[in-house]
A and B are shown apart, each in its own frame.
Chain A
Amino acid sequence: MSAGVAAYERVAVFGGVYSNHRALAAVIADARNRGAEALICLGDLGAFGPNPDKVFPLLRDAGAVVIRGNYDDSIARGLDDCQCGYTDPRDNHYAHLSYQYTYARTAPDNRRWLGTLPPEVRFRLGALDALGMHGSPRQMNEFLWESATPTHFLRKLAREHHADVLLGTHTGIHWLRRLGPTSWYVNVGAIGRPANDGRREVWYAFLTAADTRLVVEHVPVAYDHGALADEMREERLPQEFIDTILTGWWTTCLEVLPAKERARGRF
């Protein structure tokens, strides 16, 4: 499976940018300081945050490899919603506000670019085959939560999709599971909003490989969240979204959280 794909030993992998250009800039700087050979973005460039066009030049200038998330898929195709599958009216209300704003404020060129992004990325990590995707390798908008994803299920995904290391985002909360002596699932978290843990930092993953050994670090990154909140106010985004940035607690899109993840949050 590894023929013709790029090979690295030190990579930064992030996702769920959610228009948070300030966090994105901080993550890029942090990854460079750590000596990342590649920056890999697992999608969802828009949502929640202000001025969605600002993240595109940052990603392009950094030479990041970017794949398509469900939000990007919706924006590129002009769909009615973000395809997160909410049924709760309150979640749908806020998801709709966020989606309408992001769609209207994403330039047509950038929307088209989102449509050109591949749905997955394969690369070599040391002697390991890595597969990066947004949700799961079989479904871009599948949630893989730590408390709702059995190890045997992840092993099946890794086997069926011929990967030693599965990398995903989509849920917004980072976690790690070892699937075997040389096999891992890594949820890299989200850099667009905090991890529903009462901290203001956002999270990405830094992976260091040597042969079949892999070290996975979930890295918290501080950024000027106050300035982002100011910008969100100027854009008249909902106070609920601003509160999440300022407090570290999720206030919306809670329906899809399993009991354990929900219990750890405040709302």
Chain B
Amino acid sequence: MKTTLAPVSAARADAGVTTSATSPKVPLTALDQLWFQISGTVCNLRCRHCFISCAPDNHAFWFLDPGVVRAALEQSEGLGVKEYYFTGGEPFMHRDLIAILADALALGPATVLTNGTLLTPRGVEGLAALAAGSRYSLELRVSLDGVNPEMNDAIRGPGAFARTLEGLRRLAAAGLLPIVTAVQTWPDAEHDRMLVEFGQRLAEIGCARPRLKVLPPLRIGAEAGRSGGYAATERVTHEMLHGFDLDRLLCTRARLVTSRGVYACPILLDYASARLGDTLAAAAARPAPLSEQACFTCYRSGAICSNVPSGGLERA
């Protein structure tokens, strides 16, 4: 029996990096993730740590037209997309969300990033039916930033804790298994205790099998005002990419469709450098500049916004 040896990992660590006097640029390795800024920057909450400062009156990016989404989904098949993500703003403010999710789930797995405050009984019923009827997984990622109202609402606004917990309770009662995401606003020394408390709190409302995902804060947008921004030295340089696994960066694996063009990354909406084109094809062909300081967080922590961390094997 003869075996044929071939490299398994897609690319050498620093292959394809564009060198210039300014910031490094990285090409798209594969369009694994197609993101949609489905509700633009419009949100029913005004969280103090939001990296793109979403709010009821932030109309910088508007709701995506269902036709735009449908066209991108059609293109995504030929591009070999592996996962679809829907973010905002608050996606459940989009009146066509359920129909759009149905279109996406006909092609592949879909994830919605939500604050969970607009999950009505009827809406949850619709989601449960959608999830049950699809070959692919529907993931609901619900943001909760504390284990009590004092902690959560200090960031997400008065009343948010109770409303999010009610949304989670409805999802659990419908047999769905939401992923609860929490931005780490507590010191590392308290981390283990916080995880236990999150688990207990979620169990109390019927989330018996909680899936908890803790994210580091992204110190841009409103969060920069809350906790201070990045230090001048916290930036991705050419030297830092030597031997680095580029697949850990979201922009080597993803593009984001918005009402104002296609971007490299969902956290860089406020930066013109991240707008890579008018169309998906154009944006896929252009390398992404790592020129913003938020890129430093992705460099350090990996593509935290994905459901499962990306990246290949550790290199010898």
Contact = CB atoms under 8 A, between A and B. Distances in A.
Interface residues of A, number: 49
A79 B3 contact: no
Contact of A262 (B6, B77, B177, B213): B177
Contacts of B313: 70, 73, 83, 139-141
Given A123-B1, A141-B313, A87 B213 contact: yes
Contacts of B213: 87
A59 to B, nearest CB: 13
A150 B6 contact: no
B175 interface: yes
Contact of A143 (B78, B212, B308, B311): B308
A255 B213 CA distance: 9
B243 to A, nearest CB: 15
A182 interface: no
B3 A263 contact: no
Contact of A4 (B2, B80, B195): B2
B211 A150 contact: no
Interface string B1-17: 11111111110000000
A87 B5 contact: no
A119 B209 contact: no
A259 B10 contact: no
A150 B31 CA distance: 13
Given A83-B313, A122-B3, A148-B137, A259 B177 contact: yes
Given A118-B3, A150-B107, A152-B77, A259 B138 contact: yes
- Consensus secondary structure, chain B interface: loop
A117 B75 CA distance: 39
A222 interface: no
Given A83-B313, A118-B5, A258 B82 contact: no
B188 interface: no
Nearest to B109: A148
A89 interface: yes
B2 A5 contact: yes
Given A77-B316, A120-B4, A150-B81, A262 B109 contact: no
Interface of A: 4-6, 38, 65, 67, 70, 73-74, 77, 79, 83, 85, 87-89, 118-123, 133, 137-141, 143, 145-150, 152-153, 155-157, 255-256, 258-263, 267
Interface of B: 1-10, 30, 76-78, 80-83, 107-109, 131, 135-139, 175-177, 192, 195, 209, 211-214, 247, 307-309, 311-314, 316
Nearest to A152: B77
Nearest to A154: B80
A149 B209 contact: no
Contact of B109 (A87, A150, A255): A150
Closest 4 CB pairs between A and B?
A150-B108, A156-B80, A258-B137, A147-B137
B139 A150 contact: no
Contacts of B311: 85
A67 B312 contact: no
A122 B211 contact: no
Contact of B1 (A6, A140, A143): A6
Contacts of A149: 82, 108-109
Given A147-B136, A152-B77, A120 B2 contact: no
A123 B1 CA distance: 8
Contact of A85 (B77, B81, B177, B309): B309
Contact of A139 (B5, B6, B9, B209): B9
A94 to B, nearest CB: 15
Given A121-B3, A140-B312, A152-B107, 7 more contacts: A83-B313, A118-B5, A119-B7, A141-B312, A148-B136, A149-B109, A150-B77
Contacts of B137: 145, 147-148, 258-261
A119 B7 CA distance: 7
B45 to A, nearest CB: 24
Residue among B76, B308, B309 with most chain A CB within 10 A: B308
Contacts of A259: 131, 137-139, 176-177
Contacts of A153: 80-82, 108
